[in-house]
Structure 1
C-alpha cells in the first residue's frame, strides 16, 4: 500500500471520527457532507429516514437531537476502499445518548453500522451517501 493511499485513508478516518466527536453539533456535522448528500437511516430493518441534501439533514438531525443532553460515540472496525476520488467506508459505532423526556432521564445505547460513500471535493473528503443501520437499540430510564 502506497504512502498516498495511507494518507487518503487517514483523511477519511478524520472525517468519520470528526462527525462522531462533534456529537450533536449538527451545523458543524453538516459541513462534512456534500450539499446533495443522501442519508438513509434504518431502524429495526425498516427505512426510518430518507434524507436528500445537507439542508434537509440538518433539519432532521436538529429535530432528533433537541432532547439530547449528552452523548458519547465510539467508532471501530473500519474498512476503507478508495478508487480515484471516491471511497467507501464501512464502520461500526456505539453511540450512547442521554435524553430528557417528560421529566425523566433516559440513556439509549445505539449500536450502528455505517456504510458511507465519500467523494473528494476540492481536496477534501466529504460524505455523499450515508447508509446507517441501527443494529441494536436499548433505551432505559436512568435512576438518580
Structure 2
C-alpha cells in the first residue's frame, strides 16, 4: 500500500468523521461544504425509500428542518472501508446515531444503526461526498 493511498484513506475517514462532528453540533452550513453542489442523498428505513434529495441547497433546507426538531445529536462512527480509483472513491461506513426529541413534554431517545454507501470525488485537492445512501437498519425509541 502506497503512502498516497494511506493519505487518501485518512482524508476520507476525516471526511465522514467531520460529517458526524459538524452534524452533532448542528453546523449545517459547514456540513454542506462536505458535499458536491450536485450531491444526491437518499435515506432508506426498513428497506423503504423515505427521502431522496438532490443538490446542496435542497439538502441544506432538509437538514435544517430536521435539526430544528432535534434537541441533541450524538454520533459514533465505526468501520469505514474505501475503494480508491484516482480522483474518485467508493466507501461503506457504519454509524450509531442517537437523537433526543421532545414529544408530549417528554424527551424521546431514538437510536439508529446506519450503513452509508458513499461515492466520493476529489475536487481541488479536497475529498467531497457526491452520493450518499443511508440505510437505517435498526431503529429503537424510548422515553428518557
TM-score, normalisation: structure 1: 0.96
State the aligned residue count.
142
Q: Which residue of 2 aligns with 1:100?
A: 102
Q: Give secondary structure in 2 for the equivalent of 1:57.
A: helix
* Structure 2: gaps spanning 5 or more residues: none
CA contact (8 A) 1:67 1:101 kept: no
Pair 1:52 & 2:54 matched: yes
Q: Give secondary structure in 2 for the equivalent of 1:6.
A: helix
Q: Give secondary structure in 2 for the equivalent of 1:68.
A: coil
Deviation at 1:70, TM superposition (A): 1.2
Root mean square deviation, CA, Å = 0.8
TM-score, normalisation: structure 2: 0.96
Q: Distance in 1 between matches of 2:31 and 2:75?
A: 14
CA contact (8 A) 1:39 1:130 kept: yes
CA contact (8 A) 1:113 1:133 kept: yes
Deviation at 1:101, TM superposition (A): 2.5
Q: Which residue of 1 aligns with 2:3?
A: 3
Runs of 4+ in 1 over 6 A off after TM superposition: none
